[in-house]
Structure 1
C-alpha cells in the first residue's frame, strides 16, 4: 500500500466535509495503491448517517469508517495510525481540499528525497467561505496557514524551522508514526491535540520533530497544493485569540518531550516570576487603556510563549499571569 489517507473529524460543518470528500475522491491515484480512513471522533451526529459520507463510501470502496469515542484529535489519529497499512500516512483535516495531483506529487517527492520523512503543502490557499472581517484578515490568513512557496525546502534542525510542515496535508513515513503512537501509549508524548472546544495542539508538531530526531528531514514543496476551508465561526477575533494562545502555549512542551536534552536551553529562556508578572501586567494595562485588537493579539502571544515555557518546565505560573489569562479566557 503506497498511501493511507486519514481524515479525522468531530462535529463537522457538512458544507466543508462534502468539499473535502469530493476532493479526496478526485485525487489522481494512477499507478498508486491507496486506502482511506475516515475517523469519526464521536460526533454528535454520526458520520455514518450523513448523505455525503454514504455517497463517498459508495464511490470509494477502499474507504473505512472508524469510530473513536475518546475525545481528542490525538486519539483519532492514533487509531488511524494503528489501522493504516500504507508506506506513508497522509493527514487531511476535514477542512482540507487537496488538489487532484497531490498524491502524484508526493510519489515524486518521496522517491527524489528519501531523506525527507515528512512533507507538507508549499501552497495553501485559505477560503473564508462566510467572509472574514478586514480588521483581522492579515492575522487570519497567517493563522490558517496560507503559504506560497516557490521552491522545495526542507531542514533537519532540532527546533522548529519555517520550512517544517504543519498538520494540514501532512505526509509522513508510516513506520515513524507507528513509533510515535507506541511512545505516546507509553506516556513519552502526552499532548492530546485539539479536544472539543480546546484549541491547544502539539501532537502534529511532535510527529514532525520525531522525524528529525530519527535522523530525517522535514519540508514543504510547491507541487503540494490544497485549500484550507474556514467557516464564519472560526473567522473572528475571538477564535483567533484562542487559536493563538493554544498554538504557542504547547510548543515548548512538544519540543522538550522529543528532545529532552533541550531542557537547559529552555531553562535559560525562562523569565523570572516577578519579571513575567510585571511585564504581563504592563501589557495588560496598555491594552486596556488602548483596546486595539493588535495589542490584544500581542499580549496573548507574549503570555502563551512564556506560559508554555513554564508549563514545559513544570513550574507554576505567577498569580498575576494566571488571572490575566483567566480574564482573557483563552486557555
Structure 2
C-alpha cells in the first residue's frame, strides 16, 4: 500500500460521514494501494462497521479511541498506519476523486515537503449571498482557496526574521497530507497543545503538527491540484457558534505562537483580562452587530491565550 486515509469522528452526523466515505469509494487510485482508518473517538452510541457497508470503500478498518480529543484520535490512526504517506480527513470532508493520486504525485515531485494540502471549498445547505456578513468568518470554518499557484515554505525562520514564522499557506487539517517520517518528533511528543474535544472548540492541533514538521527540517506546501468539499450545516453559521469558534481558535492560536517562539505579542498578566475585555467591548462596538460580537469574542480569546501561555517544551 502507498497511502492511508485517517478519519477521526466523535458523534458524527451519519449522512455527512456517509458522504465522506462515498467520496473515498470514488477515488481513482486503486483501492489495493491505500487503506482507510476510521477512528471512533468516544462516540455514543459507538460506530459499527455494519452501518457503513454500503457507503465505505472496501479497505475500511474501524478503530476505537476512548480518550476524547482529536489529537488522541489522530495519534491512534497515525500509529496504526502502515504507509509512509497519510491523509487526515474530517468526517465532513468529501475528497475530489483524484485526491489520493494527486497527493502521491505531489510528494514524488516535492521530496523535501513533509506536509501539503490544497483547496477546501464549501457546500452549504442554503445559498450564501455574495454580500453575506458571515463570509468574513469563512476561514474559521476551514474554508480556503489560495488560487492556482503552488506555494512552498522556505524554512521555519526566514533570513533576517527575528522569530519563527508560520507560513500563511500551510496545510489545514482538512485534507492535510503528511509523510510519516516528517512527524516522528510530533508522535513522540506527548505535550501537544489541546485540540478539539467534544464541544470544546480549541483548534491548535493542525498548526502544532505543521510547526513540528518545520522544526524537523521539512518543508510544507500548498498544492492547488488537491481539492475537497467541506460540508457546512446551518448550525455552524449561527452567530453563537461562530463566536465560540472564534474565541477558541484565537486563544489556541495565540498559545501556539508563544509555544513555538513565533509570537509578535508578549504574555500578559491574568489580572488584566477583565479590563482588556471591557475596553475591547467598547472599542469594537460588540453590541452593534453579530459580526462585531464575533470579532470581540475572538479578541477575548486572544487575550486569554496571552494570559495563560502553554508551558515550554
TM-score range, shorter chain: 0.7 to 0.9
Aligned to 1:195: 197
Mapped to 2, the partners of 1:109 and 1:289 lie a distance apart of 45
Question: Which residue of 140, 155, 165 corresponds with 1:159?
Answer: 165
Aligned to 2:82: 85
Assess if the C-alpha contact under 8 Å between 1:116 and 1:218 holds in 2. Answer: yes
Mapped to 1, the partners of 2:110 and 2:286 lie a distance apart of 53
Question: Which residue of 217, 220, 241 corresponds with 1:218?
Answer: 220
Mapped to 2, the partners of 1:77 and 1:160 lie a distance apart of 22
Distance 1:235 1:289, change over 3 A: closer
Question: Which residue of 108, 113, 122 corresponds with 1:126?
Answer: 122
1:304 aligns with 2:301: yes
Assess if the C-alpha contact under 8 Å between 1:131 and 1:235 holds in 2. Answer: no
Mapped to 2, the partners of 1:65 and 1:108 lie a distance apart of 27
Aligned to 2:161: none
Question: Which residue of 232, 240, 243 corresponds with 1:241?
Answer: 243
Mapped to 2, the partners of 1:285 and 1:75 lie a distance apart of 39
Distance 1:268 1:302, change over 3 A: closer
TM-score by length of 1: 0.83
Return 5+ residue gaps in structure 2 as ranges: 157-163
Question: Which residue of 280, 284, 288 corresponds with 1:291?
Answer: 288
Assess if the C-alpha contact under 8 Å between 1:126 and 1:144 holds in 2. Answer: no
Assess if the C-alpha contact under 8 Å between 1:152 and 1:222 holds in 2. Answer: yes
Aligned to 1:280: 277
Mapped to 2, the partners of 1:251 and 1:132 lie a distance apart of 28
Assess if the C-alpha contact under 8 Å between 2:273 and 2:307 holds in 1. Answer: no
TM-score by length of 2: 0.87
Distance 1:101 1:8, change over 3 A: same
SS of 1:303 mapped into structure 2 = helix
CA drift at 1:146: 2.5
CA drift at 1:295: 1.9
The within-5 A match list for 1:19-168 is 19-30=19-30, 33-48=33-48, 51=51, 53-57=52-56, 59-60=57-58, 62-121=59-118, 123-130=119-126, 135-148=132-145, 149-155=147-153, 156-157=155-156, 158-168=164-174
Aligned to 2:189: 183
1:171 aligns with 2:177: yes
CA drift at 1:234: 1.4
* Mean Cα deviation higher: 228-237 or 22-31: 22-31
Mapped to 1, the partners of 2:53 and 2:123 lie a distance apart of 25
Mapped to 1, the partners of 2:222 and 2:7 lie a distance apart of 20
Mapped to 2, the partners of 1:212 and 1:289 lie a distance apart of 37
Q: How many residues align?
A: 301
Question: Between Structure 1 and Structure 2, which shows a larger proportion of helix residues?
Answer: 1
